[in-house]
């Protein structure tokens, strides 16, 4: 049996550490797919995370925690302050408080995806949230897509610094309302209701994806198969409606994710080598039942976590799970107590792996590692009605 070599190149940590330092996601090497699957009382959101490496922690985030936005290189920005109204479970490639996607206890799901064409509006005196906090902020404070849209219009987003691209977002709530939120040509653009006829998102602006879908065309250059993936998902969402009642929706959602995945293993001199970009992990959020299922590139075993299994009170320990633990089935009880040292060790991998570059990352990594400890448990009595 050939030896398995999973490629984890130095270039990844160079980019990610720069992203951490400026609280952004690098756009060019980042490709993801997200969609909503709805039929009867079944309501799911599927998500592929496609990148160069898949290190990620699953966090149980508490309600009743007072927070202030993380400070960055430009100290003059006004920062938002808030108290988390909802508990949530999130997938965090950058450690605690910096998730890429997640679901809160009210059934709101938010997923972020790379978008090179992102152009953020000027701050204009509004509080500034850094890109890496946008998802957690809204899972903390919102219970519906409508609330997310209203909140997004009252915030500025810190633009990437020396990194190409930004993010756009796909949101769905327990009522079945979904939305795409983008920042294009310096303006906030929201699409929902009749403006979101295909509830899916890849790494091109939504309007561009829909134009190619309706016209039956393809762009001259389809970066990371973005338009192709959108069309594939759109077709499979349409086909799902024709399936008989009772067809397993979660299984079908994973079929869609399989159809648009990245990553292959090829044998070279007796060694299995992974392609550079791969679908590092896939997750299906079951909004109706407040649970989710996930798997990784390296382990296709389906694991599930139920939100009902956790106490979201901030008076109890924060729980965390490494997605690469060799587990199966319901892993809700396998989460361990969070410690600051665990978070620091997770982030310090970057400083140990990256090659020497001109910028010293020590200060930025410390700021991100220390940030979660600034949150203060003030309890739910402070939240009001």
Among 57-66, 97-106, 263-272, 358-367, where is mean pLDDT lowest? 358-367
What DSSP line would sit under 309-373, residue for residue?
A: GS--BTTS--EEEETTS---EE-GGG-EE--HHHHHHHHHHHHHHSPP-SS--HHHHHHHHHGGG
Give the strand pairing for 65-68 and 376-377: antiparallel
Residue 32 binned pLDDT confidence (cut-offs 50, 70, 90): very high
Give all domains of the chain, ordered by start, each with its CATH number. 3-383 (3.60.60.10)
Beta bridge partners of 273: 5, 266
Among 1-5, 25-29, 206-210, 242-246, where is mean pLDDT lowest? 1-5
Q: What is the 3-state secondary structure (H, E, C) of 211-253?
A: HHHHHCCCCCCCHHHHHHHHHHHHHHHHHHCCCCCCCCHHHHH
Q: Per-residue pLDDT for 10 more than 60?
A: no
The pLDDT value given to residue 165: 65
Q: Are 57 and 92 in contact (CB under 8 A)?
A: yes
pTM value is 0.90
Q: 305 — phi, psi (to 5°)? A: -135, 135
| Burial class (CB within 10 angstroms; exposed 0-12, middle 13-18, buried 19+) of 205 | buried
The pLDDT value given to residue 14: 33
Give the strand pairing for 156-158 and 128-130: parallel
Task: State the CB neighbour count (10 A cutoff) for residue 31.
Answer: 23
Residue 264 binned pLDDT confidence (cut-offs 50, 70, 90): confident
Task: State the CB neighbour count (10 A cutoff) for residue 340.
Answer: 12
The pLDDT value given to residue 382: 61
Q: Select the more confidently predicted residue: 292 or 347.
A: 292
Q: Per-residue pLDDT for 18 more than 60?
A: no
Q: How much of the chain exceeds pLDDT 90, in percent?
A: 68
The pLDDT value given to residue 275: 81
For the stretch 153-203, pLDDT in tens is 999 998 654 444 689 999 999 999 999 999 999 999 999 999 999 999 999
Compute, in degrees rounded to 10, the torsion defined by CA atoms 309, 310, 311, 316.
Answer: 140
| Burial class (CB within 10 angstroms; exposed 0-12, middle 13-18, buried 19+) of 41 | exposed
Q: Per-residue pLDDT for 139 more than 50?
A: yes
Residue 21 binned pLDDT confidence (cut-offs 50, 70, 90): very low
For the stretch 37-77, pLDDT in tens is 998 889 999 999 998 888 899 999 999 999 999 876 555 77
Residue 356 binned pLDDT confidence (cut-offs 50, 70, 90): very low
Q: 115 — phi, psi (to 5°)? A: -145, 110
Q: What is the C-alpha to C-alpha distance for residues 341 and 325, in angstroms, rounded to an integer?
A: 18
Q: Select the more confidently predicted residue: 379 or 249.
A: 249
Write down the mean pLDDT value for the chain.
Answer: 86
The pLDDT value given to residue 72: 64
| Residues whose CB is less than 8 angstroms from the CB of residue 318 and which lie 6 or more positions away in sequence, other chains included | 59, 60, 61, 62, 96, 337, 338
- 364: tokens are 């930025």
Average of per-residue pLDDT across 219-241: 96
What DSSP line would sit under 181-192, residue for residue?
A: EEEETTEEEEEE
Q: Per-residue pLDDT for 249 more than 70?
A: yes
For the stretch 278-319, pLDDT in tens is 999 999 999 999 999 999 999 999 999 999 999 999 999 999
Task: State the CB neighbour count (10 A cutoff) for residue 91.
Answer: 22
The pLDDT value given to residue 159: 65
Residues in the chain: 385
What secondary structure letter does DSSP report for 133?
G
The pLDDT value given to residue 274: 79
Q: Is 161 helix (H, G, I), strand (E, B) or coil?
A: coil
Q: Are 169 and 111 in contact (CB under 8 A)?
A: yes
In Å, how far are 14, 71, 77, 361 from 358, measured between CA atoms?
A: 11, 22, 26, 9
Q: Select the more confidently predicted residue: 19 or 250.
A: 250
Q: Are 347 and 368 in contact (CB under 8 A)?
A: yes
- 193: tokens are 């209701």
Question: Kind and range of the H or E element at 136?
Answer: helix 134-141
The pLDDT value given to residue 360: 54
The pLDDT value given to residue 38: 94
Which residue, 285, 341, 314, is CA-closest to 83? 314
From its phi and psi, is residue 231 left (phi > 0), alpha (psi between -120 and 50) or beta?
alpha
């Amino acid at each position: 049996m050939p030896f398995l070599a999973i490629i984890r190149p130095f270039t990844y940590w160079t980019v990610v550490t720069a992203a951490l330092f400026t609280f952004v996601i690098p756009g060019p090497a980042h490709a993801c797919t997200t969609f909503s699957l709805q039929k009867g009382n079944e309501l799911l959101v599927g998500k592929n995370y496609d990148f160069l490496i898949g290190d990620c922690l699953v966090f149980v985030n508490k309600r009743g925690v007072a927070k202030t936005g993380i400070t960055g290189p430009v100290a003059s920005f006004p920062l938002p302050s808030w108290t988390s109204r909802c508990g949530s479970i999130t997938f965090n490639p950058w450690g605690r408080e910096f998730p890429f996607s997640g679901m809160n206890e009210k059934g709101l799901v938010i997923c972020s995806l790379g978008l090179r064409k992102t152009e953020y509006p000027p701050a204009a005196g509004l509080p500034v949230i850094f890109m890496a906090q946008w998802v957690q902020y809204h899972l903390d404070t919102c219970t519906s897509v409508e609330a997310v849209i209203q909140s997004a219009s009252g915030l500025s987003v810190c633009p990437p610094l020396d990194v190409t691209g930004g993010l756009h977002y796909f949101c769905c709530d327990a009522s079945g309302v979904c939305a795409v939120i983008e920042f294009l040509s310096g303006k906030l653009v929201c699409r929902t209701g009749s403006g979101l006829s295909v509830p899916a998102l890849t790494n091109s602006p939504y309007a561009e994806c829909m134009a190619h879908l309706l016209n039956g065309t393809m762009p001259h250059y389809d970066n990371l198969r973005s338009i192709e993936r959108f069309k594939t998902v759109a077709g499979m969402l349409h086909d799902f409606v024709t399936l008989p009642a009772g067809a397993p929706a979660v299984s079908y959602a994973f079929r869609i994710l399989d159809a648009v995945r990245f990553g292959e293993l090829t044998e070279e001199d007796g060694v299995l080598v992974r392609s550079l970009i791969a679908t590092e992990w896939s997750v299906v959020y079951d909004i109706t039942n407040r649970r989710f299922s996930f798997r990784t590139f390296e382990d296709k075993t389906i694991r599930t976590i139920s939100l009902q299994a956790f106490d979201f009170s901030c008076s109890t320990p924060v729980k965390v799970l490494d997605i690469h633990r060799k587990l199966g089935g319901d892993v809700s009880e396998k989460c361990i107590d969070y410690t600051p040292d665990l978070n620091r060790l997770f982030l310090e991998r970057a400083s140990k792996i990256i090659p020497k570059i001109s910028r010293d990352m020590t200060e930025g990594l410390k700021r991100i590692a220390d940030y979660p400890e600034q949150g203060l448990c003030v309890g739910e009595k402070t939240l009001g009605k």
